Amino acid sequence: MCRPEKKFWMVTIAERLEALQHLRQLMDPEREATQSLIRQACAQNPWFTEEDYTYTLAHITQSYLDNEQLFEFAANYRLFDRAASLKTVGIVMAGNIPLVGFHDLLCVFLAGQVALIKWSEKDEVFFPAIMEEWNERFPWIKERIQSVPKLSGFDAVIATGSNQTARYFEEYFGKYPHIIRKNRNAIALLEGDESMEELKRLTDDVLRYFGKGCRNVSMLWVPKGYDFSRLFEVLDLEDERILHHKYKHNYDYNLAIYIINQIPHLVANQLVLLENEAISSRIGTLHYCYYESISEVEEWENQHNDEIQCVIGNIGLNGLTPVPFGQAQQPDLSTFADGIDIMRFLLKLDD
């Protein structure tokens, strides 16, 4: 007699954690089948590189899918005391960097809810293929995570996009419980005495994913009279980004615009620097501003905190804990985008 397939509402948090450990194996960037999927994803989207995709998977498997960290995270939200939910959460994925919405999906899965995923056409190769393998081992996941061409029949929504798409999201999803994310970027606060190693790590915070992520540094605050020569020296050590044809096109275009319009700028091997108070900078460029006291930066931050994802450096602003150089793209399980606790949002749906 065949054993009936287990229904999603019968699955315990312990079983969900077990399934996530298998997912961790499937997403291991050293696995041959995973490497093949990485190549396919990068062939579909020329902004994705194999090195960046591998970097993302290493972070996911080591931080998001580590069993000990997952257990502690689940315990903090008392998930071991809660039954699986009947709520359905729609997730609109962005495609600016690889697997950018994975943390949202993970939280919905841990909360015991059903995830309806609208994948970005820019990143719809890798995880759906991983899902097929995952379902073979745990068939009940097919009821819990579903890929859909259009969201419908949901109880709540998590949608990530640009400022422009956010207006559409607000109109379409506004009557439901929702989290809608707009454009944000990271800023870096330099004191002027950073080591060459710290500056090298900073360049990764700027250039990783070609600067397209919400945690990428797009603006520097530097002390008045700051000498950029050491930063330029570090930027000139490597050239893998500027060799990428799409990035090089943006770099050349923006440089030409500044030259033609006689806009003062600084030129480094992989970036054009522009003195500008706007947080968001064009691809291939980096904004900077001078300060005389930290209070100036804190006053500015108060006016722009809804545009800032995080602050990189050795000192924080207005109580914000600084993210160490080189760790902009390595948030832990409890670091939520835009500072909104997704787990609390999800668990309240059952209250």
Shared-domain flag, residues 304 and 224: yes
pLDDT of residue 240 exceeding 60, the answer is yes
Shared-domain flag, residues 88 and 137: yes
Shared-domain flag, residues 103 and 219: no
Contact 201, 325 (CB under 8 A): yes
pLDDT of residue 187 exceeding 70, the answer is yes
> Chain-wide mean pLDDT for the chain?
94
149 Cβ contact list (under 8 Å, min separation 6): 118
How does strand 185-189 pair with strand 308-313?
A: parallel
Domain end among 116, 150, 182 = 182
Is residue 337 assigned to a domain? no
Shared-domain flag, residues 176 and 209: no
* Predicted pLDDT of residue 89: 98
CATH code, domain carrying 39: 3.40.605.10
* Predicted pLDDT of residue 84: 82
pTM of the model: 0.94
Strand order in the sheet with 88-92: 145-147, 114-118, 88-92, 156-160, 178-181
Q: How many CA atoms lie within 13 A of 304 on its CB side?
A: 22
The H or E element containing residue 280 is none
* Predicted pLDDT of residue 318: 85
In whole angstroms, give the CA distance from residue 272 to residue 278.
Answer: 15
Shared-domain flag, residues 207 and 87: no
In whole angstroms, give the CA distance from residue 238 to residue 10.
Answer: 52
Is residue 104 assigned to a domain? yes
Shared-domain flag, residues 107 and 196: no
What is the mean pLDDT of the segment spanning 106-111? Answer: 97
Q: Which two tokens stand for residue 335?
A: 């670091």
Q: Which two tokens stand for residue 338?
A: 């835009």
In whole angstroms, give the CA distance from residue 96 to residue 8.
Answer: 31
Is residue 330 assigned to a domain? no
pLDDT bin (cut points 50, 70, 90) of residue 239 is: confident
Q: Which domain holds residue 28?
A: 8-182
What is the mean pLDDT of the segment spanning 86-93? Answer: 95
* Predicted pLDDT of residue 8: 53
Q: How many domains does the chain have?
A: 2
Chain segment 313-337, per-residue pLDDT in tens: 999 888 788 999 999 999 999 999 9
Shared-domain flag, residues 104 and 190: no
What is the mean pLDDT of the segment spanning 120-141? Answer: 96
* Predicted pLDDT of residue 4: 39
Is residue 142 assigned to a domain? yes
pLDDT bin (cut points 50, 70, 90) of residue 279 is: very high
Is residue 202 assigned to a domain? yes
Shared-domain flag, residues 19 and 62: yes
Chain segment 19-32, per-residue pLDDT in tens: 999 999 999 999 99
Domain end among 138, 160, 182 = 182
pLDDT of residue 1 exceeding 50, the answer is no
* Predicted pLDDT of residue 7: 59
What is the mean pLDDT of the segment spanning 44-66? Answer: 98
Is residue 348 assigned to a domain? no
Nearest to 247 by CA among 36, 105, 49, 9: 49
Q: What is the tally of helices (H) and strands (E) in the chain?
A: 13, 11
Across-strand partners of 312?
Answer: 188, 323
CATH code, domain carrying 285: 3.40.309.10
Is residue 196 assigned to a domain? yes
Pick from 191-200, 210-219, 231-240, 262-271: least confident:
231-240
Shared-domain flag, residues 146 and 90: yes
Domain end among 127, 153, 182 = 182
Is residue 3 assigned to a domain? no
Shared-domain flag, residues 167 and 191: no
Shared-domain flag, residues 173 and 195: no
Shared-domain flag, residues 89 and 156: yes
* Predicted pLDDT of residue 73: 98
Percent of the residues in the chain that have a pLDDT greater than 90, as a whole number: 89
What is the mean pLDDT of the segment spanning 193-208? Answer: 97
pLDDT of residue 75 exceeding 70, the answer is yes
